[in-house]
Chains A and B, each alone.
Chain A
Amino acid sequence: MTIQEALFTYCLRRGDDNLILSHRLGEWCGHGPQLEEDIALTNRALDLIGQARNYLQYAGQVEGKGRSEDDLAYLRNERQYTNVKLVEQPNGDYAHTMVRSFLFDAWHLPLQQALTRSKDDQLAAIASKAVKEIAYHLKTSGDWMIRFGDGTAESHQRAQRALDDLWTFSGELFATDDVEAVLFAAGIAPDMAAVKSAFDSTVQSVLTEATLKRPMDAYMATGGRQGKHSEHLGFMLAEMQYLQRAYPGAIW
């Protein structure tokens, strides 16, 4: 695998994680538990989609076959999507949505902080922009973990249930393969062990304050990076890609 091939896949992965989570959060639009939270979720989604655009634009450029960000977002099928399974999981209740974002943010921040030091200038530039937004996301998703966990018996129970359900998807965030290895050797991608240790310490401190219990590390779901997704992604893409599939090349 050449560095160029690895870099293309690496950018796709970053773009796909952001795009899919962004779409999931966007599904809350008009359904939030209160107006402020409705707005907060779509604001998060907007930041994520902005980052996804940067990554997919760059992926297209690295690939060099003239594919645009829209081609990559709307014209790939589910087996060609490389996001982790965590982000495609359905929204569930509000605790479920927030726990999913918290786990994502707690991984995303140290990953992007490390990427600011990437030897690839464009990856470093995208990261230096994104870290500020992600730090803000992690602060607010962490606050919600504490509010749910250390709130009422009902909110505690729902947050713990969401954490127990979603924990099995957290391992994939740190899975490494040839793509990571090639780029790590070139100083482009960071050491995932360091990212994992930052994630563990954030999770530890937030869960302690939230009086929530960290689930045991048991079976971890994988396969998303290789395009083997849960059944949920196909339905989501069918909705997300409908317009471009039905009216190819439509613009507004």
Chain B
Amino acid sequence: MINTPITKEGIYDLLEAVKDPEVPVISVRELGVLRDVQVIDQRVIVTITPTYTGCPAMDVMKEDIEKELRNAGIPDFEVKQILSPAWTTDWISEEGKRKLKAYGIAPPEKTADIRALKGEAPVVECPQCGSKDTVMVSAFGSTACKALWKCKNCLEPFDQFKCL
């Protein structure tokens, strides 16, 4: 039970424990899914936005947030889902991108990357050996957010977080 007054910062800290169930090293905040926390007269309103429209992990994240709030003894809360503004991989924090890489998933490039603007294929660094000599095997991967790549240097396959 929380005895001190509920603060916005306190809720943000609390929700740091809620991870992406598909990539359990990155929190909903680092992923950019957690958009806003409001505390109005001790009522907590958490706003989240889906990554991919059909991502089944979204329902799990919502439930995990509710569980975390309930376990912390927050009596009055609501988790709202909004679609607009639409989520972009640019919202994944730098810390989040570092964690993705350490987990073996190549982080997304910036959507405004000059190469993307020119319609060129992105340069994706192998998260294992760091080589830039990599090739896309499939535009779709093991989850809605990932594509499948292969490193030509260390010959390992790896996931890349799709740039959206």
B162 touches A40 (CB 8 A): no
Residue A125 is within 8 A (CB to CB) of chain B in the complex: yes
A43 touches B144 (CB 8 A): yes
B52 contacts which chain A residues (CB < 8 A)?
A: 46-47, 50, 133
Residue B86 is within 8 A (CB to CB) of chain A in the complex: yes
Residue B140 is within 8 A (CB to CB) of chain A in the complex: yes
A39 contacts which chain B residues (CB < 8 A)?
A: 138, 140-142, 148
CB distance from B52 to the nearest CB of A (A): 6
Within 8 A of A (CB), among B63-91: 82-88
CB distance from A208 to the nearest CB of B (A): 17
Interface SS of chain B: loop
Across the interface, B54 reaches (CB within 8 A) one of A49, A125, A126, A140, namely A49
User: Considering the chains assembled together, what is the distance between the CA atoms of A85 and B42 in angstroms?
Assistant: 53
Residue A51 is within 8 A (CB to CB) of chain B in the complex: yes
Across the interface, B86 reaches (CB within 8 A) one of A44, A51, A53, A129, namely A129
Within 8 A of A (CB), among B35-78: 50, 52-56
B144 contacts which chain A residues (CB < 8 A)?
A: 43, 46-47
Residue B1 is within 8 A (CB to CB) of chain A in the complex: no
Interface size class of A (residues with CB under 8 A): 20 to 34
B53 touches A129 (CB 8 A): yes
Across the interface, A136 reaches (CB within 8 A) one of B56, B88, B139, namely B139
A125 contacts which chain B residues (CB < 8 A)?
A: 82-84, 86
Residue B123 is within 8 A (CB to CB) of chain A in the complex: no
B82 contacts which chain A residues (CB < 8 A)?
A: 125
Known A39-B142, A40-B140, A43-B144; judge A132-B54 contact (CB<8 A).
Answer: no
Residue B129 is within 8 A (CB to CB) of chain A in the complex: no
A50 touches B140 (CB 8 A): no
A139 touches B53 (CB 8 A): no
Across the interface, B138 reaches (CB within 8 A) one of A36, A129, A130, A132, namely A36
Residue B137 is within 8 A (CB to CB) of chain A in the complex: yes
Subset of 7 A-B contacts with CB under 8 Å: A39-B141, A46-B55, A49-B54, A50-B52, A129-B50, A132-B86, A133-B53
Listed from nearest, the 10 A-B pairs whose CB atoms lie closest are A50-B54, A50-B53, A36-B138, A125-B84, A40-B140, A43-B140, A125-B83, A46-B54, A129-B86, A128-B86
Name 7 extra pairs, CB < 8 A, besides A43-B140, A126-B83: A37-B138, A40-B139, A46-B54, A53-B54, A125-B86, A128-B83, A133-B52
